[in-house]
Amino acid sequence: MPTFNLKNPLAWDHILNGEIVQFDNFNGARQISFSINASERVEVFLSFNDQMTDRILIGASDGMFECSYSTAITSFVQIVHKTSETTVYMRGPAGSHTVPAKDEASYTNVEPLGRRNSDLDRVMYEMRLNEKRRDAALGETLGRIRADEAARDLRRAERKAARLAAEAELVIEKPIKKETADVQPATPPIEVPAAD
């Protein structure tokens, strides 16, 4: 089952056999596309002059179809069909959304802003002031913490250097063993009585 999506029916224009439709182009290169709804086979030609001397075929079909092309200059489209009973409707492209500049003087002004809320401005000022005070106090606290850490690191380094210097000065003397053949014990041995 074929489906024909016409969108807005009032946007379709009846086109006669051989009628030339002009598409103006004011703003440089753009793509032009249009839809055609024909009861029988039609041929669509494109040209860049209104005499259609250099026309080229850009579409040929029946029913509903769409043609599109890109151009930077004004173009002309001609729709041709062979029989007089053929009915052709065309929905053209959307017009350019750019409004051309006018040389006329403009006497309109932009609407001025309303009065500012003084209470809101005061609250915002107090908030900025509090943020500055908080940032200053935080910076001072961080500075004290960093100074304490630096002093503690310095004390640790001094203690370590002192310990290393003391270890370097300490000389360990090993006991000297004398080799003698007769070594007498300093005290006589104790005799233990035997148990009965």
β-partners of residue 37 are 64, 89
For residues 74 and 25, the answer to whether their CB atoms sit within 8 Å is yes
Distance, in Å, from the CA atom of 155 to the CA atom of 162, rounded to the nearest integer, reads 11
Residue 2 tokens, joined = 């074929």
Same-domain status, 13 and 73? yes
Distance, in Å, from the CA atom of 151 to the CA atom of 158, rounded to the nearest integer, reads 11
Phi, psi of 12 (to 5 degrees): -90, 135
Give residue 107's pLDDT.
Answer: 73
- Whole domain around residue 18: which residue ranges? 9-91
Give residue 164's pLDDT.
Answer: 86
Please report where in the chains the tokens 């016409």 appear, as a residue: 6
Structural domain contains residue 42: yes
Report the domain count for the chain: 2
Structural domain contains residue 50: yes
The Cβ of residue 10 has, within 10 Å, a number of other Cβ atoms equal to 8
Structural domain contains residue 67: yes
Give residue 31's pLDDT.
Answer: 87
Q: Which long-range contacts (CB under 8 A, 24 or more apart) does 31-34 make?
A: 31/68, 31/69, 31/70, 32/68, 32/69, 32/70, 32/71, 32/75, 32/93, 33/66, 33/67, 33/68, 33/69, 33/93, 34/66, 34/67, 34/68, 34/77, 34/90, 34/91, 34/92, 34/93
Query: pTM for this structure?
Result: 0.48
Structural domain contains residue 76: yes
Among residues 124, 14, 17, 33, which one has the least CA distance to residue 75?
33
Per-residue pLDDT tens listing for the chain (196 residues): 678 888 888 888 899 999 999 988 877 788 889 999 999 999 999 999 989 999 999 999 999 999 999 998 889 999 999 888 899 999 987 655 555 667 777 777 777 667 777 888 889 999 999 999 999 999 999 999 999 999 999 999 999 988 888 887 765 566 666 665 565 666 666 676 776 5
Structural domain contains residue 193: no
Q: What is the CATH number of the domain that holds 37?
A: 2.60.120.340
Distance, in Å, from the CA atom of 123 to the CA atom of 130, rounded to the nearest integer, reads 10
Same-domain status, 14 and 85? yes
Give residue 174's pLDDT.
Answer: 60
The Cβ of residue 1 has, within 10 Å, a number of other Cβ atoms equal to 2
Same-domain status, 79 and 134? no
Structural domain contains residue 111: no
Same-domain status, 150 and 84? no
Same-domain status, 141 and 73? no
For residues 81 and 17, the answer to whether their CB atoms sit within 8 Å is yes
Structural domain contains residue 98: no
Give residue 88's pLDDT.
Answer: 93
